[in-house]
Structure 1
Amino acid sequence: MTKHYSVLEVTPTSSGWGADYIGPASKVMAKYGGRYLARTANHERLEGQADIPAMRIIIEWPSKQAALNFMSDPEYVPHLQARTKGSISHHALIEATDDIA
């Protein structure tokens, strides 16, 4: 199986969901073999003109299916809904392949 990476850009629009999100989301993520590589507000844009999000998060997954299973896990879904309601979030799932080489 090919590893995959979730790359998220998250800018909170309300503070109500954050404290209740991190612990449960991390617990469910670990169940699917996910591993945080970065969760930080310490980043800068080197190219382009888009808005800079407050947080960038990178998660390593053992497979695409593991990431999809995490996203649809009934234990995670309420936390996902709270995050997407209380933030501007963008989430890309990237396959660890080199299609150009």
Structure 2
Amino acid sequence: MSVYLIADIKVTDDGWVPEYAANVHNLVEKHGGRYLSRSGNIETLEGEQKDSTLIAILEFPSRAALDGFAADPDYAPYGTARQSGSVSNFHVIDDTDIAGAIPYLKAG
């Protein structure tokens, strides 16, 4: 079952960004993941406007793969730098439909 990591980030000190942007995608790929988007082009269609700098959406083949990425010692210095220089909200969702009404999604 695929899982998706939604990273909503407000950069407070951009010193970490170049190294993170240049290197973390390789670690994501190492764990079978891929970026679907990593964009600063954010438009709020409904609800409160957030002051996010960027939102990234990553797909992993399983929760175990995502957990492997997050726990990878090679990722630790990048994660620590991001946490020190941002306000980050990470959410994990799976590929299910809670109502079970969309035929191409698994009922969740």
Shorter-normalised TM range: over 0.9
Identity of counterpart residues, as a percentage?
Answer: 35
1:1-101 pair list within 5 angstroms: 2-101=1-100
Per-residue deviation, 1:50 = 4.7
Q: Take 1:58 and 1:27, find their aligned partners in 2: how far apart are those partners?
A: 15
Q: What do residues 66-97 of structure 1 show as CA deviations (whole Å, max 9, x unaligned)? A: 01110010000110010011011110011111
Per-residue deviation, 1:8 = 0.9
Larger radius of gyration: 2
**Unaligned runs of at least 5 residues, structure 2:** 101-108
Number of corresponding residues: 100
Under a length normalisation based on structure 1, what TM-score does the superposition of the two structures give? 0.93
Q: What letter corresponds to residue 66 of structure 1 in structure 2?
A: A
Q: Take 1:34 and 1:84, find their aligned partners in 2: how far apart are those partners?
A: 21
Q: Take 1:22 and 1:54, find their aligned partners in 2: how far apart are those partners?
A: 14
4+ long deviations beyond 3 Å: none
When the two chains are superposed, the root-mean-square deviation of aligned CA atoms in Å is 1.0
Per-residue deviation, 1:47 = 1.5
Greater shift after overlay, 18-27 or 74-83? Answer: 18-27
Q: Take 1:75 and 1:30, find their aligned partners in 2: how far apart are those partners?
A: 13
**Unaligned runs of at least 5 residues, structure 1:** none
The DSSP-based 3-state class of the residue aligned with 2:91 is: strand
Under a length normalisation based on structure 2, what TM-score does the superposition of the two structures give? 0.87
The DSSP-based 3-state class of the residue aligned with 1:17 is: helix
Per-residue deviation, 1:52 = 3.5
Q: What letter corresponds to residue 86 of structure 1 in structure 2?
A: G
Q: Take 1:91 and 1:73, find their aligned partners in 2: how far apart are those partners?
A: 17
Q: Take 2:81 and 2:23, find their aligned partners in 1: how far apart are those partners?
A: 12
Q: Is the 8 A contact 1:10 1:89 kept in 2?
A: yes
Q: Take 1:58 and 1:52, find their aligned partners in 2: how far apart are those partners?
A: 17
Q: Take 1:76 and 1:35, find their aligned partners in 2: how far apart are those partners?
A: 15
